[in-house]
Each structure stands twice: as structure tokens, then as C-alpha cells.
Amino acid sequence: MKRKLIITIFLLVAATVTWAQSSPQLVVWQKNGEKVYIDLSEIPETTFKGDQLVIRGSKTSVQYPLSNILRYTYENVSSTGIELQPSERMVSISKNGDSVTLRNLREGSTVTLYSSNGTLLEQRTINNAQPLTFSIAQRPAGVYIVKAGSETIKLMKQ
């Protein structure tokens, strides 16, 4: 009886881990090695408040000190829009960090620049496979996100 209970618990844990690894999620990577998974079905909103990373979803609301966060990523999200060929993609960031240039993007692809609170600042379409540069030199200090398909580049202006 005890053995059946242990096997049942093990199978439930294994099924939960498998499900969690295959569903789209936001992952917060902490400096202590811990990862926090938030299901994207909650439609989490990620913002910054002072020195805190704030994530609010339909079921979850959490805050983390930025000093304890390595990064946050999205996992198991299907790629839509731009597809960069792994052997061809090329991203370069300017020496002073105020611009990012993307090369070898597919014709007609859309690349966007967002503020840290998710506000769309610029959106451009690739023409003639020309390199595309986004600059934050004339923008206020803060974090900016450049998104091209499943590629995300974060820029910080101090």
C-alpha cells in the first residue's frame, strides 16, 4: 500500500513537471540559482517600480528586488512573425550602448522598440533586407526592448 502511494505521488510530480516545462511561461532567473515560473495563460504584466521587478497576472502578483534578478525570459513560446536563420542572424550594439543594429532579417519582417512598461515606441518593416538600427540616444534614461520574432535585445540608458 505504501509503495503504491509513493509511486502515485512520483507519477503526479513527474506529470506536473512535464506539463510545466511544455506550457508557455515567463521565467524569472534569480542570482541564488532559483527560477520562478509564471504561466503565460495568466497574461502577466511585467513592469518596474523603483528598484523592483513587478509581475502581475490574473492569479499571481509578485515583486523581486532587481539586485536579486539575473534576467527574465519567455520559454516554450511558439515563434510567430520574424524568423531569423541561426547561421545568418547578426546583432551588433553600438560602443556606447545607445543603439542596436540587426542584419540579415527576412524581407517584410517587423521589428519593434518598446519601453520597459511595454509601450510600443517604434515599429519598422525590413525593406530590401537592409540592416535596421534602433537608437535610444535621444530618449530618456531607462530600459528599452527591441523585439524581432523570438529575439529580444534589452538596452539600458543611464
Q: The CATH number of the domain where 110 resides is what?
A: 2.60.40.3080
Return the pLDDT at 15: 46
109 assigned to some structural domain = yes
Rounded CA-CA distance 19/33 in Å is 22
14 assigned to some structural domain = no
Range(s) of the domain holding residue 110: 90-157
Return the pLDDT at 54: 86
Q: Is 86 exposed, middle or buried (0-12, 13-18, 19+ CB in 10 A)?
A: exposed
Return the pLDDT at 67: 87
Residue type, 98: D
Return the pLDDT at 137: 82
71-92 pLDDT, tens digit each = 887 787 665 544 544 444 566 6
Return the pLDDT at 116: 86
8 assigned to some structural domain = no
Number of domains in the chain: 2
Return the pLDDT at 87: 43
Residues 94 and 153 in one domain: yes
Cell numbers representing residue 22 in the block = 511544455
Residue ranges of the chain with pLDDT lower than 70?
A: 1-22, 77-97, 149-150
Residues 120 and 73 in one domain: no
β-partners of residue 92 are 101
- What residues contact residue 150 under an 8 Å CB cut-off, 6+ apart? 77, 79, 82, 84
- Distances, alpha carbon 151 to alpha carbons 106, 110, 111, 116, in Å: 13, 12, 10, 16
4 assigned to some structural domain = no
Return the pLDDT at 79: 52
83 assigned to some structural domain = no
Return the pLDDT at 20: 46
Residues 97 and 64 in one domain: no
Burial letters 34-52, b for 16+ CB under 10 A, else e: eebebbeebebebeeeeeb
Residues 32 and 73 in one domain: yes
Residues 100 and 62 in one domain: no
